[in-house]
Chains A and B, each alone.
Chain A
Amino acid sequence: MHKLRFIAHKELRHILRDPRSLIIAILMPILMTLLYGYAINLDIKNIKLAVIDFDRTSASTDLIGRFYNSGYFSKATGPVSIDNPEMILKKGQANAVLIIRPGLSEAIQKLKNIRNRAGLAIDKYELGLIVDGADANMAAAAGSYSSIIVSQVIKDNLPPGFELPGIKISRQVLYNPDLKSSHFFVPGLIAIILMMISALLTSVTVAREKESGTMEQLLTTPVTPRQIIIGKTLPYVGLALLDGILVLVFGVFHFGVPFTGSVLLLFAFGVIYVISALAIGIFISTVVKTQQLAMMGAMMVTVLPSVMLSGFIFEIKNMPLILQIITHIVPARYFLLIIRGIMLKGSGLELLWVEASFLILMSILLLSVATKKFKLRVG
């Protein structure tokens, strides 16, 4: 225990004496939060919509008004050609084109005059929507927003007591009612920053001692490899948690991300998660010999999977099966579910125990492999 303290103390001195790494450790999380919070905005708004109105009645004017007033659509930035409506998409002046065929007002009139359920089935009137599929998220959003608007129109025009045949839209968004992506991003960002700082800095610091020969010197003294590893990583646990708190505070107070669950529970899982990240960092440092390689390795092994395969940006259930299987060895996957659960839904241990046990298992596994590997390399 005694020796651990001295090693940790020495490591802290290294950190404090190198202002550059300290600045990176403190400033990077803030910059990343700002970047993800502002620049990468997954909220789909301002879909540029062009309209070709063949109907030209008050009904069509009403419909167009509903689209533009919904908050999701804005006016296209160029004129749309009736003969070649795709052109405006190609030019990028619109993301979607709504085509209102003649007969809208008659169709609506018929809706109003429906007297019995049989009447609902008769006439068919279709609106056209051409969407630029190059941005899949945008395309999907344009489609679903449009159908919401149209079904609202139908509902408003049906005589009282009638419901939409077959279509019953009951969209209810729980936990993130405004569908704000910052609510999703901030927890994910904490997961990534914790992983990055812990794995990156530990792998670099161990590699640095190897590079400079101090590791060899240290190993001729009575300290054991385990003491070296634990002592060296302790200050980084602190630093990583400090970063996590920084992003959390920033997210809650600046981006207004709700925090409904237990802070203590999140902290406990944060520590477990950081341990798994440190283990990965140690593992990398046993394989590589230079700081540069360690840094690159840590980026590849931690940041990339944590961003791509954790459910942070891409939903796991939409991935190909093989990738879905791989996500199970990405610690960020479990932590992400835990932190989102705790922050956004206020979930407790009774709901999170599966993810929690996976995460704990993962940490133990990684740490034992890492220390074992470290010993072997040294011997």
Chain B
Amino acid sequence: MPEAVTIDRLTKKFGDFTAVDKISLAVNEGEVFGFLGANGAGKTTAIRMLCGLLLPTSGSGRVGGYDIYRDNEKIKKSIGYMSQKFSLYGDLTAYENLWFYGSVYQLEKRVLKERIEELSGDLGLGEFLDRPAGKLPLGWRQRLALAASVLHRPKILFLDEPTGGVDPVFRRRFWAMLYDLADKGTTLFVTTHYMDEAEYCHRISIMHHGRIVELGNPAELIQRYQQPNLEELFVHLISKRSSEPTDA
């Protein structure tokens, strides 16, 4: 299976602090990959390097087949990014936000119009399109952000805690949308704190103090470590590591 993301010993240092420490992994095309870890484990830093927002200190990586050092511009055309912080323009309406992001990807007017209609139908944004994005309820803001990041139909979508602060019903619906995207062939690279969400992933990696401590299929990992569920597995892996001396 072709690989959407491959990274090899990817490292980012901020001064003396190593935020990401020689992580290696490969994500297959069409896969839903859960990138897990405690707060401050280095997940966001890693995603930012993959999206071209941050230059790695060392190591290598390819996103969509493009080198993360050299082909930054090509990567940007093939990815979508939804950050953990709401990062659309609050003073513009939902529609204007979508229109702006669509035109930044140089979608044709006609195509863009169709896609906005289609997406707002799928995501139930219809009645909110003419409201300022900043005044939308949290859940709809997240849907809007998702819509903005997939307008150009990216091959790979990076989602950094997309469901933070949203109620469980909403989260479930949000994941249904993500699965729809995956079914259409989009590769999803998701970070989350919610272990029930992680179970939806084909594969997960667990990060701690900048390193990947485990990687595999959720069910298999639970079995291998003989833990009752993913949450226990996560706590087990993290606390095991935390008792070891670390320099971070």
Contacts and interface: CB of A to CB of B under 8 A. Distances in A.
Interface in A249-289: none
B1 to A, nearest CB: 25
Given A2-B106, A6-B100, A6-B103, A220 B51 contact: yes
Contacts of A6: 100, 103-104
A334 B196 CA distance: 65
A81 interface: no
Interface string B55-99: 100000000000000000100110111010111111110001000
Interface stretch (A9-17, A27-35, A361-369): A9-17
Nearest to A2: B106
B139 interface: no
B101 interface: yes
A196 B106 CA distance: 34
A221 B104 contact: yes
Given A217-B81, A220-B53, A221-B105, A10 B100 contact: yes
A214 B104 contact: no
Contacts of A75: none
Contacts of B104: 3, 6-7, 218, 221-223
A71 interface: no
B126 interface: no
B101 A216 contact: no
B232 to A, nearest CB: 34
B90 A221 contact: no
A350 interface: no
A43 B47 CA distance: 64
Interface string B203-224: 0000000000000000000000
B79 A220 contact: yes
B22 to A, nearest CB: 21
B76 A378 contact: no
A218 B55 CA distance: 17
Contacts of B85: 213
Nearest 10 Cβ contacts at the A-B interface = A213-B87, A220-B81, A217-B87, A6-B103, A213-B85, A222-B76, A220-B51, A221-B104, A214-B87, A17-B91
A62 interface: no
A18 interface: yes
Contacts of B92: 10, 13-14, 17
A40 B24 CA distance: 68
Contacts of A318: none
Contact of A222 (B51, B77, B83): B77
B96 A13 contact: yes
A212 B52 CA distance: 19
A313 interface: no
Contacts of B80: 220
A299 to B, nearest CB: 24
Contacts of B77: 222
Contacts of A216: 53, 83, 87
Q: Which of A216, A217, A222, A224 has the most CB atoms of chain B within a 10 A radius of its CB?
A: A217
A219 interface: yes
Interface of B: 51-55, 73, 76-77, 79-81, 83, 85-92, 96, 100-101, 103-106, 148
Contacts of A221: 76, 101, 104-105
A65 interface: no
Given A212-B89, A217-B87, 20 more contacts: A2-B103, A3-B104, A6-B100, A6-B103, A10-B92, A10-B100, A17-B91, A18-B91, A213-B86, A214-B88, A214-B89, A216-B83, A217-B148, A219-B53, A220-B80, A220-B81, A221-B104, A222-B106, A223-B104, A224-B73
Contacts of A161: none
B81 A222 contact: no
A281 to B, nearest CB: 20
Contacts of B86: 213
A56 B105 CA distance: 90
A160 to B, nearest CB: 79
A106 B8 CA distance: 105
A103 to B, nearest CB: 79
Kindly name the residue among B52, B79, B90, B100 whose own CB sees the greatest number of chain A CB atoms within 10 A. Answer: B100
Given A217-B88, A220-B79, A222-B104, A378 B96 contact: no
Which of B86, B89, B100 has most A Cβ within 10 Å? Answer: B89
Contact of B55 (A213, A217, A379): A379
B90 A212 contact: yes
A217 B73 contact: no
B154 to A, nearest CB: 10
Nearest to A217: B87
Nearest to A5: B103
Contact of A3 (B53, B54, B106): B106
Contacts of B88: 214, 217
A17 B97 CA distance: 14
Most chain A beta-carbon neighbours within 10 Å: one of B80, B91, B104: B104
Contacts of B101: 221
Contacts of B89: 10, 14, 212, 214
Given A2-B106, A13-B96, A220 B52 contact: yes
A222 B104 CA distance: 7
